[in-house]
Structure 1
Amino acid sequence: MRRRVIVIVTAVHAPSARFLADAYKSLAAQELPDGWDWRWLIQEDGRTDQVAPYVPDDERVSFRQGRPGGPGVARTLALARADGEYVKILDADDQLPAGALARDIAALEADPDLGWATSRALDLLPDGSTVGFPGDPEHGPVERQAVLDHWASHDYLAQVHPATLCVRRELLLALGGWMALPASEDTGLLLALNSVARGWFSSEVGLLYRKWEGQVTGQADHVDSAEREARMAVVEARARALGSFQWRYRAAGSD
């Protein structure tokens, strides 16, 4: 019987390559439901000789390179070799707690009209401690436009973390992958998904989000006010436009 696959997509650049070992350790420890396997697609954002030495030697792991364009471009390029039912995001410097993949699979398998799943995230600090966030939504389904409306009314902060996304591959492809932005490309995808499909939020921790001095979201360019306003404007405009078309994701064969 054909085994089913959840694909993990990771964009990496040279400064974050050293964290791939921790990401792999967390992935290798995942216990999947019977009949399921994972595949890890690592895509370098660039063509250097500084990432490949950190790529794990595992037949379930594939590595490719491409001209630099940011993490959204790297992830979207990786979709060319994604052949599983679901696509899970895992940034190179983050880690998956035990059970994260199994919970994503269980949520999406239980309701074929759900397009995506997210989970609670904890910041992983340099000393190894973790810190949570207030304001998580209720455990369970997330209705269309709920994340978008919260984000728009809370200074562009979503109540679910885009780095925890697990999404149906065909829906991800239909939306064109990640947005062509220098940052917030994952938020753009999350809000687009929320405009066309119901999702799921798990209150169990599904991601350890590493905080470190070199991460892209900690750089000055990321918080430049003019660029941030432009990014947020196009992210919201895309999501609202999708909502206005009244197109909704429904599983094949559903009414």
Structure 2
Amino acid sequence: MSRRIIVVTAVHAPSARFLVDAYKSLCEQELPPGWQWRWLIQEDGTTDQVTPHVPDDERVTFKQGRPGGPGVARTIALAGADGEYVKVLDADDQLAPGALARDLAALEADRSIGWATSRVLDLLPDGSTAGFPGDPEHGPIERRDVLNYWAGHGYRLPIHPATLFVRRELLVALGGWMALPASEDTGLLLALNATSRGWFSSEVGLLYRKWEGQVTGQAAHVDTAERAARMAVVEARARALEHFEWRYPLGSG
């Protein structure tokens, strides 16, 4: 029987047109023998504007639900995640060649590693790409490293949560993505780092699309008061997990 990587995508009407590029990048992934991917697309809402953009592929499942933001959409999609691993792929982004295989190899090689991330390039409107300095070293990320860096650098992450690849059992144990209007993926990443070791691949794993309608480009995303509240609850959750010394795998130091 084939083993599965479940790719989870939250989508809303404005980003639906990019699903074709996300799908193409997924189809170009090569996995080791005995492995396959399955794509769960969850609309954050119940419009009739997303369905026409969903690929006609038996490996793709599309569902809708009442709107609650991308974190809610991804978390409800976990109800259908019947594989060992979950990979995040936002509707407007694209996987780089080999991304799934590299993530899989890192976690299959070391049971103490709960999640993986990778280098990102911004995909600009003209089709060009741009990187940025400051990536961590290729290899393992120890517990608390991301959390402490984030807290000491103005709430800036050293790795990108949009590249996350995670063991399903660990993701479910932490409750999925946080119930926040934004930064829900930052909250998950910090909770993962508070409880388990991770991995960073210095090879590009994601093309992160920059476009006028993206959620992170809206004024509400940078509202000072709301952002402060988000950061406070994100840190409080991670520190609480750290305090109670919950570890993955259980019994690890």
Partner of 1:68: 67
Corresponding letter in the other structure for 1:213: E
Residue 247 of structure 1, CA deviation: 1.1
Give distance in 2, aligned partners of 1:132 and 1:154. 19
Corresponding letter in the other structure for 2:78: L
Give distance in 1, aligned partners of 2:202 and 2:77. 29
Partner of 1:239: 238
Residue 185 of structure 1, CA deviation: 0.2
Structure 1 residues 122-167: Cα deviation after superposition (integer angstroms, max 9, x where no partner): 1000011111121100000000000000001111111000000000
Corresponding letter in the other structure for 1:124: L
Q: How many residues align?
A: 253
Root-mean-square deviation (CA), in Å?
Answer: 1.1
> Structure 2: any 5+ residue segments left out of the alignment?
none
Corresponding letter in the other structure for 2:134: G
TM-score normalised by structure 1 residue count: 0.98
Partner of 1:196: 195
State yes or no: 1:15 paired with 2:14.
yes
Q: Residue 127 of structure 1: SS of its match in structure 2?
A: coil
Q: Residue 61 of structure 2: SS of its match in structure 1?
A: strand
Residue 251 of structure 1, CA deviation: 6.8
Give distance in 2, aligned partners of 1:33 and 1:223. 41
TM-score normalised by structure 2 residue count: 0.99
Give distance in 1, aligned partners of 2:111 and 2:4. 16
Partner of 2:151: 152
Structure 1 residues 45-93: Cα deviation after superposition (integer angstroms, max 9, x where no partner): 0000000000000000000000000000000000000000000000000
| Equivalent residues in 2 for 1:158-237, closer than 5 Å | 158-237=157-236
The answer (yes or no) to whether the contact 1:112–1:251 under 8 Å persists in 2 is: no
Partner of 1:117: 116
Give distance in 2, aligned partners of 1:154 and 1:219. 23
Give distance in 2, aligned partners of 1:246 and 1:70. 30
Q: Residue 31 of structure 1: SS of its match in structure 2?
A: coil
The answer (yes or no) to whether the contact 1:4–1:84 under 8 Å persists in 2 is: yes
Give distance in 1, aligned partners of 2:228 and 2:246. 27
State yes or no: 1:80 paired with 2:79.
yes
Give distance in 2, aligned partners of 1:77 and 1:132. 32
The answer (yes or no) to whether the contact 1:196–1:247 under 8 Å persists in 2 is: yes
> Structure 1: any 5+ residue segments left out of the alignment?
none
State yes or no: 1:127 paired with 2:142.
no
Structure 1 residues 172-203: Cα deviation after superposition (integer angstroms, max 9, x where no partner): 00000000000000000000000000000000
Partner of 1:43: 42
Structure 1 residues 11-48: Cα deviation after superposition (integer angstroms, max 9, x where no partner): 00000000000000000000001110000000000000
Give distance in 2, aligned partners of 1:251 and 1:127. 47
Q: Residue 122 of structure 1: SS of its match in structure 2?
A: strand
Q: Residue 48 of structure 2: SS of its match in structure 1?
A: coil
- The percentage of aligned residue pairs carrying the same residue is 79
